[in-house]
């Protein structure tokens, strides 16, 4: 049984990654239905919370059906991070996560996200301040290092454990890599197999097939995996991995009807949480992924991203079901998922996400 503090997550939990502009409550709702064991909010600025910024406060919204759920914060200064941790605790999530992995320039230039990887002593100090400020279990998500010359994740893991974090998620890239190239799981495995490490270690990067998950568990010994891009428009990924791990067989791919039904629920949740205008606008980024693999879908997709009412969008989705009722999806592997650090026999296994 994998545990973060007193939170029991099962034998090999599947985590939904905190993705900016993606991992909001409507998206988390469909991923929870799809089998995610632990989910995180989008990252929230510590300074934004202290200033009572509307966008930052809105990201604190969590719902009972999501549990266990963690709220993720980021920042580059000790006092704001500690204050943000206290604000987060008042909203009663199951845990608090610190983002030390975001690679975008507007975050790293402030010494936050992956920017802190240039200053490990400060990273440790910030983490200790957050642990001290809250009674919630504190976890961290980070990267291997700033660049190829500073892959110091083994030292980082030990030092963060020593100041009290309860779990660590490692994305198998450096900050300089951003999201390019392949994730390197070898150092993730070294951290997990370090005899000094006794907290759960979760791996993240390029996972989109059940075979890859089994390979990662067998080769690197991780306690679970975090899934990001593979879940966008395909929340079934979690249940499919679980089924394959239990039976060694693939679940049938979801039909067009099933995809449209979940897409409709996502839309409904988006409108309910954000309102008609914003809810409809922000759903537009998801339609391509829900409909990936359908031939000659451009005209329908164009309608979905221009219509302005929920009823009109649902009519188009219903028309898609009629048009493609006989379509059979195939398993394919996106290029980013062809991870050279997973065993060769597994890295090219079919991926349900994009086909």
**Same structural domain, 79 and 208:** yes
Contact status, residue 25 vs residue 63, Cβ threshold 8 Å: yes
Instruction: Please tell me the predicted confidence (pLDDT) of residue 105.
Output: 83
DSSP labels, 237-289: HHHHHHHHHHHSSPPPPPPHHHHHHHHHHHHHHHHHHH-HHHHHHHHTTTHHH
Closest CA to 253 of 240, 266, 262: 240
Residues annotated in a binding site for FMN: 72, 141, 171, 228-229
Instruction: Please tell me the predicted confidence (pLDDT) of residue 189.
Output: 96
CATH, residue 217: 3.20.20.70
**Same structural domain, 232 and 313:** no
Residue indicated by tokens 């660049």 = 147
User: Is residue 37 included in any domain, yes or no?
Assistant: yes
Instruction: Please tell me the predicted confidence (pLDDT) of residue 51.
Output: 85
Contact status, residue 267 vs residue 18, Cβ threshold 8 Å: no
Whole domain around residue 32: which residue ranges? Answer: 2-247
User: Is residue 341 included in any domain, yes or no?
Assistant: no
Looking only at the bridges linking them, the beta strands covering 69-74 and 95-100 are parallel
Instruction: Please tell me the predicted confidence (pLDDT) of residue 178.
Output: 84
Which one of 247, 266, 282 terminates a domain? 247
* Phi, psi dihedrals of residue 20, rounded to the nearest 5°: -60, 135
Instruction: Please tell me the predicted confidence (pLDDT) of residue 25.
Output: 94
Question: Which run of H or of E encompasses 176?
Answer: none
User: Is residue 214 included in any domain, yes or no?
Assistant: yes
**Same structural domain, 93 and 208:** yes
User: Is residue 17 included in any domain, yes or no?
Assistant: yes
Instruction: Please tell me the predicted confidence (pLDDT) of residue 334.
Output: 57
User: Is residue 349 included in any domain, yes or no?
Assistant: no
User: How many Å apart are CA 168 and CA 341, to the nearest integer?
Assistant: 20
Which one of 220, 247, 274 terminates a domain? 247
102 catalytic? Reply is yes
3-state secondary structure of 127: helix
User: Is residue 122 included in any domain, yes or no?
Assistant: yes
**Same structural domain, 242 and 289:** no
Instruction: Please tell me the predicted confidence (pLDDT) of residue 226.
Output: 96
**Same structural domain, 83 and 113:** yes
User: Is residue 353 included in any domain, yes or no?
Assistant: no
3-state secondary structure of 91: coil
**Same structural domain, 57 and 118:** yes
Question: Which run of H or of E encompasses 33?
Answer: helix 25-34
**Same structural domain, 102 and 174:** yes
Residue indicated by tokens 């939990």 = 13
Number of domains in the chain: 2
Residues annotated in a binding site: 72, 141, 171, 228-229
CB atoms within 10 A of CB 21: 9
Instruction: Please tell me the predicted confidence (pLDDT) of residue 181.
Output: 82
User: Is residue 346 included in any domain, yes or no?
Assistant: no
**Same structural domain, 317 and 195:** no
User: How many Å apart are CA 28 and CA 269, to the nearest integer?
Assistant: 10
- In the chain (355 residues long), the average pLDDT of successive 10-residue segments reads 94 94 93 96 88 79 93 92 94 95 84 88 96 97 90 96 97 88 92 97 93 94 95 94 94 94 96 94 93 93 95 97 90 58 42 33
DSSP labels, 68-114: SEEEEEE-S-HHHHHHHHHHHHHT--SEEEEEE----HHHHTTT-GG
Closest CA to 103 of 141, 138, 71: 141
Closest CA to 171 of 12, 351, 341: 341
**Same structural domain, 65 and 195:** yes
Instruction: Please tell me the predicted confidence (pLDDT) of residue 282.
Output: 93
Instruction: Please tell me the predicted confidence (pLDDT) of residue 352.
Output: 36
Which one of 223, 247, 271 terminates a domain? 247
| pTM, full prediction | 0.89
Instruction: Please tell me the predicted confidence (pLDDT) of residue 64.
Output: 93
Q: How many residues does the chain have?
A: 355
Q: Look up residue 236 and give its DSSP letter.
A: T
User: How many Å apart are CA 258 and CA 123, to the nearest integer?
Assistant: 44
Closest CA to 201 of 67, 46, 4, 346: 4
**Same structural domain, 274 and 216:** no
Instruction: Quote the Cα angle for 325-257-232, to 5°.
Output: 120
Which of 102, 208, 263, 351 is an active site residue?
102
Looking only at the bridges linking them, the beta strands covering 7-8 and 3-4 are antiparallel
Continuous H helices in 147-255: 153-162, 186-192, 210-220, 237-247
**Same structural domain, 273 and 220:** no
**Same structural domain, 192 and 213:** yes
């Amino acid at each position: 049984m994998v545990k973060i503090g007193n939170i029991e997550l099962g034998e090999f939990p599947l985590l939904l990654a905190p993705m900016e502009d993606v991992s909001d409550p409507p998206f988390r709702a469909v991923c929870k239905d799809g089998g995610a064991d632990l989910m995180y909010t989008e990252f929230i600025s510590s300074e934004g919370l202290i200033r009572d910024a509307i966008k930052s406060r809105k990201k604190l919204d969590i719902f009972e059906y999501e549990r266990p759920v963690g709220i993720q914060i980021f920042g580059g200064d000790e006092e704001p991070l500690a204050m943000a941790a206290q604000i987060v605790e008042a909203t009663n999530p199951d845990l608090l996560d610190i983002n030390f992995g975001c690679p975008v320039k507007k975050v790293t230039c402030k010494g936050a996200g992956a920017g802190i990887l240039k200053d490990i002593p400060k990273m440790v100090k910030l983490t200790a301040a957050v642990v001290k400020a809250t009674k919630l279990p504190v976890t961290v998500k980070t990267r291997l290092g700033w660049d190829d010359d500073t892959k110091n994740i083994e030292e980082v893991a030990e030092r963060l454990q020593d100041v009290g974090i309860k779990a660590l998620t490692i994305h198998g890239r450096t900050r300089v890599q951003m999201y390019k190239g392949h994730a390197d799981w070898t150092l993730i495995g070294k951290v997990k197999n370090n005899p000094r490490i006794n907290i759960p270690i979760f791996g993240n990067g390029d996972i989109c097939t059940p075979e890859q998950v089994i390979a990662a568990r067998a080769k690197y010994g991780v306690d679970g995996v975090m899934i990001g891009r593979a879940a966008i428009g395909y929340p079934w990924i979690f249940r499919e991995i679980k089924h394959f791990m239990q039976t060694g067989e693939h679940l049938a791919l979801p039909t067009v009807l099933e995809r449209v039904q979940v897409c409709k629920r996502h839309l409904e949740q988006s409108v309910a949480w954000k309102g008609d205008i914003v809810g409809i606008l922000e759903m537009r980024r998801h339609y391509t992924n829900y409909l990936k693999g359908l031939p000659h879908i451009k005209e329908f997709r164009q309608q979905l991203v221009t219509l302005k009412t929920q009823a009109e969008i649902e009519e188009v989705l219903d028309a898609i079901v009629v048009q493609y009722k006989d379509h059979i999806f195939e398993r394919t592997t996106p290029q980013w998922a062809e991870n050279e650090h997973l065993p060769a026999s597994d890295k090219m296994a079919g991926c349900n996400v994009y086909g």
